[in-house]
Structure 1
Amino acid sequence: MAWNWAGTDIGKAHHHTVVLNNDGEVLLSRKVVNDEADLLHLISEVLTLGETVVWSVDVADGMASLLVNLLLNLTDEELRQQSMPPSTLSLLGLVRHMAEVERAWFRRVFEDNNAPMVWSDKINFQAAYDASASTRDEAFVAWEAEVGNSRRIEREAESLDRDGYQPRWGEEVSLRTVMVHVLLEYGRHNGHADLLREGVDGTVGA
């Protein structure tokens, strides 16, 4: 059986994918912007190069680790700081929001369509951003629990074609679509976190 091997280097604004065949011949090498339509088009193009593709890509964990790095060595007060006025975003608010994103796109799509959000009985993503009474421990315990559940769903899936139901959209979505969407969420909010961290203590390039 002929196999193709696809590797994707994940970045905040752009990603780069290279596809090789069994002989080491480069079939595709492309930089793509962090845009859902562009990423799904790239995936479709890679799939046309051969029937069997082995992907090597750290879709969520790499971006999640970057978010964690941006929060190192800060107190709870600093994590709650709204450091880029007039925006009311805070680093802790972003962690809480990403816990909601993980739940909304994995737990609610593949396990329990009616599961409540982490910080809202209703589907209110804005509730997570209010970190005025939150702590690092509270936010990270919730986020790590959702991340762990999401990665388990990925590991147990037989393929990226596994279907789930996204109640917010009222339609079925594949695991592939979900992973791309969550990647985009981390990329977008890590950019926000860069600016917020610089506003707190001047740290850049974390």
Structure 2
Amino acid sequence: MTSRLVNLRSRWLQATTTVLQADPTIAGAALVGSLGTGQADDWSDVDLLLVAEDPDAVVLPSTNRTVTIDARHNGPAGTRASSAQYVVDGLPLWVDWHIHPLSLAYWPADSKLLFEHHPIRRTPATFNTYLNEGPREPATPKTATEQHALRIALIPIAAKQVARRSPDAPQTIQFLGGPPTTTPQSQLAALYQLLDELQTPETHASVTAARSYLTLLDH
């Protein structure tokens, strides 16, 4: 069943790469994270590094995007970052976007190039090393609505931890407002309960996708 996740992730990435490549504001794009290193599994999310003359001018693809969170605090000063949830075939796909200016950009050693419109520097450093160099971008405050949407969007992230039998799963579930849990079954039950508690008319699409994700995991 998880091959369905790999398939929809691949199709989303192929379609999105085509859109990005046609955008004149983007000089290049590469996969980072587990997809960049070739260590992705069925549950892996997408991490994309974009290079642009002006990161603030980049408009991220919005089709089927249900949640967008400003995450610029995850990068060096002068860069931009967003975390977003897309719904593909009724299932959620989490994407971390890192948008770096040409003046600072290079392709990390553990990245996988998707395209570049002109040569961009390479480095033997890893992406994590790059992200932690120098001063950071300050965090932007989140509204109550954004915090609520983020809690729902993180439920599939917690579910992924359950699928991997990660020791982080209980802590993530409690962070989201769930009870202490000790088994995968109790963790899934807690996530279902959280969805029931967090659902509002405005978050219907995100909740429905998260519930489908839990059902896939349950199977």
Q: Per chain length, whose mean CA-contact separation is higher, i.e. which structure has more relative contact order (CA < 8 Å, sep 6+)? A: 1
Considering the TM-score relative to the shorter chain, is it more than 0.5? no
Q: Shorter-chain-normalised TM-score: which range?
A: under 0.3
TM, length-normalised to structure 1: 0.25
